[in-house]
Amino acid sequence: MSVVNNMAALDPVAPQLSWSDTPFASLRSVRTDARARLLAGYIRSAIDFLSGPDRDKLTACAVPRCVRYFVKVHGRQEFCRPSCGNWAQAARFYHRHRADSGR
Ligand SMILES: [Zn+2]
């Protein structure tokens, strides 16, 4: 866990508030190294996600050969993308048809 936290600390940032028509928050970086800023930004986003309320919606795709995870947008969602849903539907049809033919 310390590796993740150290990577997030590669780019210390300060919150900034802008106010034109509506308030807008952003983070000001003090680093000029684009690679460190990008890496730290990704890690901060991962930390925000894993410590936030959407973590409970993180689900493994139900297709056995698929290695993807996704965030459920509704309760019955089982697949990471439509092509995995199509694959599962075709597999169910194949097994049902094969069982009906007596093989
Ligand atoms: Zn999938």
pLDDT for res 102: 59
Expressed in angstroms and rounded, the spacing between residue 99 Cα and the centre of ligand 1 is: 25
pLDDT for res 59: 96
Expressed in angstroms and rounded, the spacing between residue 55 Cα and the centre of ligand 1 is: 18
Tell me the domain boundaries of the chain.
1-51, 54-103
pLDDT for res 32: 80
pLDDT for res 51: 95
Contact call for residues 85 and 78 (beta carbons, < 8 A) = yes
Sequential pLDDT tens for the chain (103 residues): 899 999 998 888 888 999 988 999 988 888 788 998 999 999 999 999 999 999 999 999 999 999 999 999 998 999 999 999 999 999 999 999 887 775 5
CA 53, 63, 92, 81: dihedral to nearest 10 degrees? 60
pLDDT for res 5: 92
Expressed in angstroms and rounded, the spacing between residue 74 Cα and the centre of ligand 1 is: 16
Contact call for residues 57 and 70 (beta carbons, < 8 A) = no
